[in-house]
Chain A
């Protein structure tokens, strides 16, 4: 939404009061707060209405592909830096399958893609889409490859060909699944835009000679009725990728330029440079990254980086409350508790591991707050600690009769001992003191 002053500039400044507000400025302020509409002004011009519509549109268009319950949302981002609010739509990762492969190889590759799955802090990390690349220049072959994959998975698809004829052969039969068509360039944008319009599919527009040409092409496909546009540009080096993605994001969200306000697709290729580009695009404004090859070793860092970057900075990441055995504890090993704020947990876990002393690590649910914050907020009390010990069943596992508590909350010792019947040992105030503390425990 534009500011009151920006809206005021569009008004006739007659202060006639026909909008039911005393002055044009007062009216502008009401519009800025969504309490009035520009149309309420009887003297408003068509140009002003158009300008208002343009500046009220999201800086980066939300573009979706895929269908049913497997839809990928891209764009609709509003920030340059994640700490300003957050990044909303995580970078989608797609692995490509070439239509030059024989059917057996295609299915094998499909199987690899579908079976790549990791469960990490309560989230399933996996590929988001499959790209079929036209490398055979054979419409029938492309259509067969698309068919083979589409009949076996509901995963959203990206179809890659610069030939409108080949694209039509592949996309025609699965248009209702809204594949992303990749795509249009300076040489084919007219027929490709017509096809995308006919099939109602989003279209990737590729740059050939610089951003000005890209913005020009976007304008042309939009004139041909395509609103769901995705940008693709030359990113031969990481420098190009970073600088150009940054320019697109910045001119769009700072509203100095409206013509490139679309999600970005990066065609990363294969090998080390593809992984590096994928990582970079995840941090800096990529909406979807296509890989030709990606080994399982490289997939996990990529997925985890995306998970990290796209967390909401205002909501702390939590680990699952419960009992975590560290260094192979037995019945005689003591319990040590900490909170479920991920940073606290990771730090304490690593320090307990360093001590090599067997411990039952009890993670108490503090809604993701650290020890002191949770204690001050009343989310870490003798009662809540006791309750979590009961729920996790750690008392059946540790018969040591001892519980180690963070030094910062030594004040709860008496009450906790009373409630649990355990001997409370006050640990160090800082996690870094844990290794020494545990080694000297016995």
Chain B
């Protein structure tokens, strides 16, 4: 009989591991601490090396719901009116591995809520749920510098993952994370060289590599997904071939899928916008997983549930 070879690649590089959340042993208050990264082969190919940790799903929680589509609000019901009950719903009802709080209301262009108030919100969520937490500012550099510093101090030993640093603005957030041993998200805009560049800037600044998770920007289905897909595959291949500055886990925010026209409006000759939007985010998430995503930030619990089943099926069982 013919013998078909298994084409196992011998990679020289390996993705580093990053710890998320700290338990009481480490001075934190999380009941669950997680690890991400650590791959030594392309995603889900068990014969190539392996994936010691399955990809994680972070449930998105905003501190203002003014921009949120109605169908997402419906999925959560009353829980969505407060970040605390929203986060609880994600963990207790929808099985999220971790929570991602985006402090959008601190933006001077939005509600302009104070950094103190925002830090208080983070504190309340930390008290309410025991999974690791990701915290994003609002994207306004000056404001985020203040907000994230406060958040860093208020959650000093919790080992948050904080976002994000980019090449034009990284010092204040890097300082805020380093001060209290948090981890940091390094953001770049769909370019493998820029992705490497920001990691170099951060490590030169004194950020430890095992506290960096990179976000090369996950463009949604139909909105440039193929760019993200290929940039991530290239980042992973370069990392396995030995580029140390790219050997860090990848985080992908799939909530952008809800901005796609097909997810937001009725398309002629098609049914159910809400159901299609759920699949728009699911498809974006699946592409992120196949290209190498380690942590997915997701908006819809239904999309998250399907994605979770996909991860189990890809990894070979529950």
- A354 cross-chain contacts in B, Cβ below 8 A: 67
Tell me, yes or no, whether A254 is within 8 Å of chain B by CB. Answer: yes
Q: How many residues of A contact B (CB 8 A)?
A: 62
- A439 cross-chain contacts in B, Cβ below 8 A: 109
Complex Cα distance, B270 from A213, in Å, reads: 43
Complex Cα distance, B271 from A11, in Å, reads: 64
Count chain B CB atoms within 10 A of each CB in A83, A272, A298, A354 and give the residue with the most: A83
- Taking a contact as CB atoms under 8 Å apart, the answer to whether B45 and A246 are in contact is yes
- Taking a contact as CB atoms under 8 Å apart, the answer to whether A247 and B259 are in contact is no
Say whether, besides A239-B313, A272-B309, A311 and B226 are in contact (CB < 8 Å): yes
- Binary CB contact string for chain B from 26 to 48 against chain A (1 if under 8 A, 0 otherwise): 00000000000000001011110
Closest CB of chain B to A275's CB: distance in Å? Answer: 7
- Taking a contact as CB atoms under 8 Å apart, the answer to whether B306 and A304 are in contact is no
Interface hit among A102-110, A194-202, A278-286 = A278-286
Tell me, yes or no, whether B120 is within 8 Å of chain A by CB. Answer: no
Interface hit among B76-84, B92-100, B194-202, B278-286 = B278-286
- Binary CB contact string for chain B from 60 to 71 against chain A (1 if under 8 A, 0 otherwise): 000000010000
Instruction: Classify the secondary structure of A's interface with B.
Output: helix
Tell me, yes or no, whether B244 is within 8 Å of chain A by CB. Answer: no
- Taking a contact as CB atoms under 8 Å apart, the answer to whether B1 and A213 are in contact is yes
- A275 cross-chain contacts in B, Cβ below 8 A: 279
Tell me, yes or no, whether B91 is within 8 Å of chain A by CB. Answer: no
Closest CB of chain A to B313's CB: distance in Å? Answer: 4
Interface members, chain A 333-354 (any B CB < 8 Å):
342-343, 346, 350, 354
Closest CB of chain B to A39's CB: distance in Å? Answer: 29
- Taking a contact as CB atoms under 8 Å apart, the answer to whether B271 and A242 are in contact is no
- Taking a contact as CB atoms under 8 Å apart, the answer to whether B226 and A212 are in contact is no
- Taking a contact as CB atoms under 8 Å apart, the answer to whether A297 and B270 are in contact is yes
Tell me, yes or no, whether A238 is within 8 Å of chain B by CB. Answer: yes
- A273 cross-chain contacts in B, Cβ below 8 A: 313
- Chain B's closest residue to A119 (CB) is B268
Complex Cα distance, B224 from A283, in Å, reads: 15
Interface hit among B3-11, B13-21, B152-160, B169-177 = B3-11
Closest CB of chain B to A432's CB: distance in Å? Answer: 7
Cβ contact of B314, chosen from A239, A247, A313, cutoff 8 A = A239
Tell me, yes or no, whether B245 is within 8 Å of chain A by CB. Answer: no
- Binary CB contact string for chain A from 63 to 89 against chain B (1 if under 8 A, 0 otherwise): 000000000000000000111000000
- Binary CB contact string for chain B from 278 to 308 against chain A (1 if under 8 A, 0 otherwise): 0110110011001000000000000000100
- Binary CB contact string for chain A from 236 to 278 against chain B (1 if under 8 A, 0 otherwise): 0111001100110011001011011000000000001101100
Complex Cα distance, B2 from A216, in Å, reads: 6
Tell me, yes or no, whether A8 is within 8 Å of chain B by CB. Answer: no
- Taking a contact as CB atoms under 8 Å apart, the answer to whether A239 and B221 are in contact is no
- A301 cross-chain contacts in B, Cβ below 8 A: 221, 262, 276, 279-280, 282-283
- Taking a contact as CB atoms under 8 Å apart, the answer to whether B267 and A243 are in contact is no
- B190 cross-chain contacts in A, Cβ below 8 A: 343
- Taking a contact as CB atoms under 8 Å apart, the answer to whether A219 and B267 are in contact is no
Complex Cα distance, B227 from A260, in Å, reads: 30
- Taking a contact as CB atoms under 8 Å apart, the answer to whether A259 and B4 are in contact is yes
Closest CB of chain B to A295's CB: distance in Å? Answer: 7
- Taking a contact as CB atoms under 8 Å apart, the answer to whether A216 and B275 are in contact is no
- Closest CB pairs A-B (n = 9): A215-B2, A83-B230, A238-B313, A250-B7, A211-B4, A308-B226, A301-B283, A343-B224, A297-B275
Can you list 24 contacts pairing A with B, beta carbon distance less than 8 Å? Answer: A116-B269, A215-B2, A237-B313, A239-B46, A239-B315, A242-B45, A242-B314, A260-B4, A276-B313, A280-B286, A280-B290, A283-B287, A284-B290, A297-B270, A297-B275, A297-B276, A298-B279, A309-B226, A309-B229, A342-B224, A343-B219, A343-B223, A346-B223, A354-B67
Extra inter-chain contacts (19) besides given A82-B230, A239-B313, A251-B5, CB under 8 Å: A83-B233, A212-B3, A219-B2, A238-B313, A239-B315, A239-B316, A246-B42, A254-B7, A257-B4, A259-B2, A276-B310, A295-B271, A296-B269, A300-B276, A307-B222, A309-B229, A342-B223, A343-B219, A343-B224
